[in-house]
Every structure is written in structure tokens, then in C-alpha cells.
Chains A and B, each alone.
Chain A
Amino acid sequence: MSSAQLLSVSGVSKEFPGVKALNNVHFDLNEGEVHAIVGENGAGKSTLMKILSGIYKKDSGDIKYKGNSVNITSPFEAQKLGISIIHQELNLMPHLTVAENIFIGREDRFPGGIFLNNKKLVAAAVALLKELELNLNPNDIVGELTIAKQQMVEIAKAVSYRGSVIIMDEPTSSLTPAETDALFKIIRSLRAAGKGVVYISHRLEELEKITDRITVLRDGEYVKTLKTSETNIPEVISLMVGRTVAQDQRPENRVIGSDIVLKVEGLSDLHLLRDISFDLRKGEILGFAGLMGAGRTELARAIMGADPKTSGTITLHGKETHIKQPSDAVAAGIGYLSEDRKRFGLLLNQDVTFNVILSSIPSFSNKFGFLKVKSAAGIARNSISQLRVRTPSERQFLKNLSGGNQQKVVIAKWLTRDCDVLIFDEPTRGIDVGAKDEIYRLLTKLAEEGKSIIMISSELPEVLRLSDRIAVMCDGRLTGIIDNKDANQNVIMELATKFSDKFTTVN
């Protein structure tokens, strides 16, 4: 290889109590290269990244940086060496400004080292942002920026360490296609400048666009390193899961009845939503596509009564229903599964049983208010076997389950409540490829059993694979509802970017 090797990891292992997180893993990175690490959740990607960035210590193995063996003991040390990382969860101080965030820990000081030189700090930030062609004001408070802009702050911060290696952990998970393109531009210029970029992503279609090589991990083991130009997504997926997963599937042409379960008419809210009307039929999966900020989550929250609406009616089973707060919606049989399960869906420090009965506690308690422990555990065990939740028992704490299994527990919660309309907001966010498949099958099965499902998703293949019809939103409006057989990614993107004001309702 012509370019010099920046990083070489050989035979690295890491064990946590009871789990072999990494077993004899290999990885290397050259100057001017973008090298992806892929694998399902639990494959060991994050553990490897945390070892490289000094958060974990390896048990054994060797890490060479620019040819020298190194022992990275803290994030500080990693940064000093020249390895910086953009974490999956945004790691910013929301109350501080852009400039303060970028240079946190390395503030310009006046002689003496106590007082901050804010002018120099801001000037340095201006120069850096200009260099990266990022449209950010260094004096803006980070917490007031959009997620995408916050992501840009993270990138600027990582670049500012002027290291040779930049690790990006799921950098595009909350970016729009246009923002992703902007990010790719930055990555390409970093590559051109001879930096090495370690790129982790669940969005496999991105790998073809941006990476030079791909290393696959599975269950903590090294599987294979591939040249991107010599492989394809199906091969990568089959290496990741150890079997072949079909891509670009469509639902079998199911016959949906004409019973309208949920009818939304003329719904608007204070800020974004304008005059939204649609029907949801019994046994149907209605997909909602759109860009970030199109108003899909806001629509779901308005239907649930979590946010106020200014106009519009909601009709359930032919009867107009006044929903003023989420408990009204739940009582009417609508369950909402938030994109942020950990914050809005689950009690992570409680066991499966508690989470399953959470929305239906009155039916699991006697007239004195005592919980019926046995029947609660029974229904939890039922849910576990029905939804195939992988857990040692119904008494396992939720925090110990994988993302996919946590999602199944949320579903079990609403099924226990006997909801017949389920609103899924990004049902597979943060869930690995193999488990996604299972969630897909589960959603289809629920629809076949007569549940009506609204599925909000930013992943078009997912929308196309599951939805009987697809509703597309743009800028707070519904720009179209199309049958699956008429839909493809291009049609959907066209509707999703229909920013015109002179707009007539389709359908």
C-alpha cells in the first residue's frame, strides 16, 4: 500500500463480566482512507471505538499508532495522540456557545492560565468554521440549534484537534439527505488532506458512497475486511448477520378491508401542521415519509393529544373523539410508540412485567389497589413468547435487553392495553439489521391480525417494504398519499420536497 499506516489494531480482546465483547479483533487504517466498521448491535463496534478513544482499556492485543505501540488510557491521551471521536449520542454542552463547545478543555487563556481569552477563542472558531465551510455562528447557544447543526459542531470539534484519525460513530443518524451530502463533502476533504476516518453506520447504502474499505464484526469477532469497490451491500449484510437478508422487499399484496378505523380531518397546530386529512383502515399499515422537520412526529403527538391542535377532528370507528391529552387517546385505543424509546417509552430500571402492564395497571390490580402480581407475570410471559422477546425471564430489567427486544416490550405494552391503532415513530431506530427484520415481521403480523398501524419512518426502504399506502409530508403539510404499488423512492422524495405554497391536496 502506498500511503502510510495510521492505525493498526491486532488481536485486541476485551471482556466484561460474563461477556466477551471483543475477541482477537483486527483493524487497520491508512492515511487518506475512510474505513467503515459495520456489524449488528453487540458486534463490538462501540467497544472497539471506546478502546481506541481511551474510554475502555483493552485486555490484550496491540494497538500501533503511526508504527509505534501505544497504550491509550484516557480520552485526553487519545486526543493528544491525534485520535478524536464523534460519539453516537451528541456530546455537547447545550448551554454553551458553538465556539465554547468546539474548544472545551483547550480554551485560549491569557498569560497566567486563569483568565479566558474569548476573543481569540471566537476568532479561532470563525477560522475553523470557514475552513470547513460550515454555516454556523460561533456565538450561538448550541442548545438552540437544530440537531443537524449540532452534529456539525461535533464535527468541527473533532477536526479542531488536528489529529490524524477521526472516528465517526453513526454521524448521519439524524441528518437529512442534503445534510448527509454536506457531511460527505467534509469527509472527502479530510480524506484528501491525508486524514484517516473510521466510519460507523447502520445505513449501509452510505458505505458505497463514502468508504474505501469495510471491516465486518460479528459477536465480538473479526469477520472480514472488504474493499468497497469489490463488494456490495447484500454481501456485507450476509457477513454481518451470517445469513442472507433480502433487500428492497415489498409487502405481499394484502387485501385491506374498507372499514375506516381512524379518520383525521383538517388537523392544524400552532406552529407547523396545516390542514392534514387522512384515513386509516382496519388492518392497514400507513407509512409516513418525509424529511426531518416535515412534521410527522408533531402530527403523531397532535393526534395523541400530547400537543395542542388549533383545528381538526379525529373520528374513531365512525365516532368523533375529543382527544385533549394522551390519556384520552389511550382510552380510545390509540397507542404511540415514540422514536425515543428510552425517554418516552420504557422504564429502563424496571423489569419486563412492570413495563408490559404499565399502561393497563388498573386491570392488573384489585379493588384495594394491590397489584395482581401473578396475572401480571402471566401476561408478561405470554407477551414474551408471542412477540419472541429474547430475555431470560419476565423479571429481567429492560436496560439489559437489546434495542430490538426493548421495542418488542413497548409493543407488548400497547397490545396489553388492547389498542387497535398503533402509531410507530421510527420503529427500528437504533435496532440492528437482524432484529429489524423481526420487527418488520411483527408489524405485518399485527396488521394481519386487524390492528391498524401508522408507521413514521425516515428510511425509505423500510417505508416501501411495510406500508400498504404511503403518506408523504413536507413542511407541515400532507403532500400526497400513494399506494405502495405506485411508489418508489423517487416519487416519495419528490413529494417530500414539495415546498410550494400553492399546493392542492392530493387524494
Chain B
Amino acid sequence: MSDVTTVEGGNKVTAFIRREIGRVTALASLVVIFTFFTVMRPVFASWANVSGGILMSTTVIGLMAIGVTFVIITGGIDLSVGTSMALVAVITGKTIMNLHLNVWSGILLGMLVGTILGAINGLLITVLKLPPFIATLATMKGAQGLALIISDLKPILFASDVKGWDMIAQGNIVPNLPNAVLILLVAAVIASIILNKTVLGRYTFAIGSNTEATKLSGVKVNRWLVAIYALCGLFVGLGAIVMTSRLGSAQPDLGLGYELEAIAAVIIGGTSLLGGKGTISGTIIGALIMSVLINGLRILELQQEWQYVVVGAVILLAVYGDNVRRRRAGETTH
């Protein structure tokens, strides 16, 4: 139709900037916010605060947000990641206690359970043809209930039974860098490679860009969707492992609400809720912006209630800024 704007001319650099401007702006905002808090309270920039406070508190949400990025790029949504994480923690904790598993089989088990929960979402969406919002809303409530039932409403204190479980998050393979942070970084790099270099990643973008066209091109879209939701679940499982390692226990009621923080990180990072567009690095930046804000505001001794308001405002600003940019570029907006 004639209202499509053509982008012709312009050299590669401007094209690159235009394409990457979302992430560039997010990164710039992160630097600005960081600098602001450092000027206000120099202790903010101390490595103890950065690694033990900011980075450490980004790990669980960050891992979930990586998984959710894949799902959102397909044009879907996963509301179940928060309570699924609790369910994975509870199932893993119970099994480890009963079967006396070692740390490695415990980790594998957690990732496996997460993957299965994710695959269930994928099957509900593709086989029963439920909209992702509804399917994952249902599994969110289901997982919440099951976590409470299986745990009998009590925290499962299993970590001390497994030698080395606490080291998963708190050890230091790299000096001065908590393992949890290392896990997040490695996971982000691997996820980024999957998204940009593999067949699964290509189909993630293709499905989000135009599902029907992808299907008609002979791609088995349903199978790939199940795989993508399962992959999201795998990262949720990883999140659960890091969480239990940090806390030393599986908390059945901890996780509800995390899904929205993960989704917020993805959106602040410039991934489009309409699908077809997004990056892992953007998501990590988004997650960092939120932890930096929370951490900084806490150091400034702003009441927690106000911290929520600020985070809400940041989400608004991030998406509004993105819209303005797209409108200028002539793209469709959210």
C-alpha cells in the first residue's frame, strides 16, 4: 500500500545506528542512571555493591527474562515463569532430598523439570490452540498451587544436604565474581548465539514476524513453538537452581510476580511485544536497569513503595521512547 515508507539511501553506519538505536538508548540510560547514583552516593559504585548487590539481584530475573525474550519474539507471552520457578525449586528440592542426588544431577533435574513445564505451555498453545496469554495464565495458577501442595506449604530445606549446592550461586570460579553472575553471563552468551546463529533462533524471529507465512514456507511452526517454550522453561529451571542455591532452600511461595519483572526487563530492552524483533543483550540491559534503579533508590533510602512507582515510570518511558522513535522511522507502533 502506498503508506509504506521506503528506506533507501543512507550508508551502512546510519542503517546500523537506526537498527541498533533501541539498544544504544537503553545502554545509555543505564549509564546515566548508574552515574547519577554514583554521584549521589559513591558507595553505590563499589564492587561489593555492584557484584553482591546489583548483579546478584539481577541473576534470577535475568535468567527468566532471557527465556521470556524468545517467547516474546515469537509474538507470544509467558506469564508462568515466576510460579514455574517455584514449582521447579520445590520438585527439585523434594527429589534431591528423597533420592539423595548429588549437585550435578540436581542441576540437570532442575533444568529438565523447567524444560518440561515450558514444553507443556508450548503444547497447550499449539495442540489445544489456546492463546499464549490464557495458556500461561492457567499454568501460572496451576504451578502456584502445585508448588504449595507438593511442599505442604513449607520451605524445603534441602540445600545443606547436597554438598556444594550453595556454591552454585555463591562460589567464585572467577575471583570476586559470584558464580550466579557468571551463570547469567554465560547463559546470556549462549542464548544470544542460539537466537542469532541457529535454526531455532531464525524460526523464532520468523514466527514472530509472520506465523502464517512461516507455516506456508514449510516450517513446522508448532514443533518449533513447543521447542521455544521449552527453551524458555530451561532458563526458568536454571533460575530456580540459582534461587535455591542463594536461599539454601526451595520457597514454594516465592516467584509470583517475577514473571512481570522478567517481561518488563524484556520490554525495556527493546524487544517488541508484537514479535519479530528483540535481542538478548537488550534484555540483560533491561534487567540491569531495573536492579540498578531498585538498588540505587534503596541506597538513597527511598521507601520501597516509591521504588515501584519509579520502575513503573521507567517502563512507560522506555516503551514511549521506542514508539516515538518508530513513528519517526515510519514503522507501526505498539
Contacts and interface: CB of A to CB of B under 8 A. Distances in A.
Contacts of A368: none
Contacts, number: 89
B38 interface: no
A414 B299 CA distance: 60
Among A91, A95, A113, A293, find the residue whose CB has the most chain B CB atoms closer than 10 A: A95
A113 B197 CA distance: 11
A298 B5 CA distance: 12
Interface residues of A, number: 40
A95 B209 contact: yes
Interface stretch (B94-102, B122-130, B215-223, B235-243): B215-223
Among B3, B202, B208, B218, find the residue whose CB has the most chain A CB atoms closer than 10 A: B218
A75 B215 contact: yes
B256 to A, nearest CB: 33
Given A91-B210, A144-B7, A79 B199 contact: no
A109 B199 contact: yes
A396 interface: no
A74 B215 CA distance: 10
Interface stretch (A100-108, A239-247, A382-390, A492-500): A100-108
B277 interface: yes
A95 B277 contact: yes
B28 to A, nearest CB: 23
Given A144-B7, A145-B6, A87 B216 contact: yes
Contacts of A74: 218
Interface string B89-132: 00000000000000000000000000000000000000000000
Contact of A94 (B19, B220, B276): B276
Contacts of A141: 19
A339 B4 CA distance: 14
B317 to A, nearest CB: 24
A106 B219 CA distance: 9
A104 B208 contact: no
A426 to B, nearest CB: 10
B2 A292 contact: yes
A503 interface: no
B218 to A, nearest CB: 4
Interface in B296-334: 331
Main DSSP-derived SS at the A contact region: loop
A96 B1 contact: no
B189 interface: no
A340 B4 CA distance: 13
Interface string B200-234: 11100110111011111111100000000000000
Contacts of A92: 210, 213
B210 A93 contact: yes
A292 B2 CA distance: 7
Given A96-B205, A115-B197, A91 B6 contact: no
Contact of B6 (A104, A114, A144): A144
Contacts of A157: 217
Interface of B: 1-4, 6-7, 19, 197-202, 205-206, 208-210, 212-220, 276-277, 331
Given A75-B215, A93-B209, A96-B205, 17 more contacts: A74-B218, A75-B216, A91-B213, A93-B210, A95-B208, A96-B206, A105-B214, A106-B218, A113-B199, A114-B198, A146-B6, A174-B1, A293-B2, A297-B3, A298-B2, A298-B3, A301-B3
21 contacts: A75-B216, A85-B216, A91-B210, A94-B276, A95-B208, A96-B205, A100-B202, A100-B206, A104-B202, A104-B213, A105-B218, A105-B219, A109-B199, A116-B201, A116-B202, A146-B6, A293-B2, A296-B2, A297-B2, A297-B3, A339-B1
